[in-house]
């Protein structure tokens, strides 16, 4: 092959590389950006849910939901699991354990964690399939265990009053103010 032909081929290849380089570079940046987004999803605070299994003799589960990053939801779910199991095995008598099993075994109960609720501990509906817990009580194990116990009793049909959200003064009290 002649030197002039080799030069023409080399010039053509260099011209093609020169034209394609910006496209390849842009494609590489786009790919890196997508990977970065995929790798940081666990850090994004958004609505998430996590199923807690192995409750009460490994036969029950609940789903915890809230607006969290992945790590914070995992921590909250673990605290709820530990409080449930401790309450069940160490602080509940037989009829309470029966209620716990009846409410959570083979059912899809949802616990909503709320960061700015209008209630102080929990909010539950009689015979319902979900209840809410105030996120602020997660660091107080005794309060969390009590709230989970009371909410469970309400879901199970116990008619004691769920937590009162607001106390409204009566007319008689207002007259004495």
User: Mind listing the pLDDT tens digit for each residue in 24-62?
Assistant: 454 445 555 555 556 888 889 899 999 998 888 777 899
Q: How many residues does the chain have?
A: 177
Question: 124 and 131 in contact (C-beta within 8 Å)?
Answer: yes
The whole-number pLDDT of residue 39 equals: 81
Whether this prediction's pTM lies above 0.85 is answered by no
The whole-number pLDDT of residue 157 equals: 85
Residue 24's DSSP bridge partners are: none
Kindly tell me the burial class for residue 131, based on how many C-beta atoms sit within 10 Å of its own C-beta (0-12, 13-18, 19 or more).
buried
CA atoms within 13 A on the CB side of 113: 27
| Residue ranges in the chain whose pLDDT is less than 70 | 1-3, 6, 10-11, 13-38, 160-177
Segments making up each domain of the chain, as ranges: 3-41, 45-155
The whole-number pLDDT of residue 15 equals: 65
Q: In which order are the strands placed within the sheet that holds 60-68?
A: 46-55, 60-68, 110-114, 130-134, 122-124
Of the CATH numbers 3.30.1680, 3.30.70, 3.30.450, 3.30.2010, which one belongs to the domain with range 45-155?
3.30.2010
């Amino acid at each position: 092959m002649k030197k002039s032909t080799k030069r023409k081929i080399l010039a053509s290849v260099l011209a093609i590389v020169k034209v394609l380089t910006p496209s390849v570079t842009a494609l590489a940046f786009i790919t890196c950006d997508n990977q970065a987004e995929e790798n940081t999803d666990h850090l994004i605070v958004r609505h998430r849910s996590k199923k807690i299994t192995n409750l009460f003799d490994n036969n029950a589960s609940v789903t915890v939901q809230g607006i969290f990053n992945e790590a914070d939801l995992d921590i909250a779910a673990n605290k709820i699991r530990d409080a449930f199991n401790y309450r069940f095995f160490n602080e509940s008598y037989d009829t309470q354990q029966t209620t716990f099993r009846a409410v959570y075994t083979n059912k899809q109960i949802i616990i909503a964690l709320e960061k700015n609720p209008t209630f102080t501990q929990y909010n539950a509906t009689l015979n319902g399939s979900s209840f809410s817990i105030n996120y602020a009580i997660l660091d107080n194990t005794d309060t969390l265990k009590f709230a989970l116990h009371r909410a469970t009793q309400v879901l199970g049909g116990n008619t004691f009053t769920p937590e009162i959200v607001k106390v409204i003064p009566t007319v008689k009290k207002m007259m004495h103010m």
